[in-house]
Structure 1
């Protein structure tokens, strides 16, 4: 085993964030311990499953449209920064996720799949929503 592979495996195992990688069809091929913590599925439950496992049903059509576009063109508009979207845990709880994605390319630069690093920001999202609501209430009171 080469040093690069050892480093990659160590980073995947130690990462607090979820790291998920798929093949061209969106079938999960990599599911690290961080993904187990974020989504609640053990690796053996998630591997070889569709990404639909963690995508809320109402968002699946839009997700797959974007996924197919990246697979066909290699163009990824989300690589420059974080994207925030809802996710779905094994227990059915919806969570807020920030993530960055990267196409996985072979030596000929053809897209072979996708990798994502995801962070559960549900508590921060809910805190911000609560602060915005309090601010709106304070403004409403001061205008009365």
Structure 2
């Protein structure tokens, strides 16, 4: 019995988006879940920069951090779940949560980064509505 895992089969079947970009920030891998989440087909995403899914107002900060990570070989987000805004093909705002890991070549050089991404837009909206409702109830309680 073989215990080898077929990466392509795994990445195609998984529910989370898997996006890999090279050291320059160009997309080199885009799984079917990324297509479902962001609306771009694999062909539309491959070779493009991550600007495809990064809101314009956040691009400067993203690229500063990205290039620092590629130069230093270290990310301060290794085990953290990052929660940030994103955009889909139609320009709609998404709330995503993701983890990242650095990818290395045979000589140990950094070749890119992989992000495993989950769409948390509905959960984020629910939390926002709950916080709003709590604030309303607290305000009512203080008036009584």
State the TM-score, normalized to the length of structure 2: 0.95
Q: Matches of residues 82-93 of structure 1 in structure 2 within 5 Å?
A: 82-93=81-92
State the match for 2:107 in structure 1.
108
Question: 1:110 deviation in Å?
Answer: 1.1
2:54 and 2:19 mapped to 1: Cα distance?
Answer: 13
Give, in angstroms, the shift of residue 7 of structure 1: 1.4
5+ residue gaps in structure 1? none
Over residues 43-91 of structure 1, what are the superposed CA-to-partner deviations in whole Å (9 max), with x where a residue is unaligned? 0000010100000000000000110011001111111121000011001
| Residue of structure 1 in register with 2:71 after alignment | 72
Match of 1:138 in 2: 137
Q: How far apart are the structure 2 equivalents of 1:34 and 1:142? A: 45
Secondary structure of the residue aligned to 1:75 is: coil
Q: Secondary structure at the match of 2:6?
A: helix
Residues 6-35 of structure 1: CA deviation (Å, up to 9, x unaligned): 611111110111100011110000000010
* 1:62 counterpart residue number: 61
CA positional deviation for 1:108? 1.9
The residue number in structure 2 matching 1:33 is 32
Count of residue correspondences: 142
What is the alpha-carbon distance in structure 2 between the residues aligned to residue 99 and residue 32 of structure 1? 15
* SS class of match (1:72): helix
Counterpart-to-counterpart distance in 2, 1:29 and 1:120? 21
Whole-Å separation in 2 of the counterparts to 1:114 and 1:140: 46
CA RMSD of aligned residues (A): 1.3
Q: Which residue number corresponds to residue 125 of structure 2?
A: 126
TM-score (normalised: structure 1): 0.95
Offset of residue 111 of structure 1: 0.7
CA distance in 2 between partners of 1:121 and 1:79 (Å): 20
How far apart, CA to CA, are the structure 1 residues paired with 2:67 and 2:129? 36
Unaligned runs of 5+ in 2: none
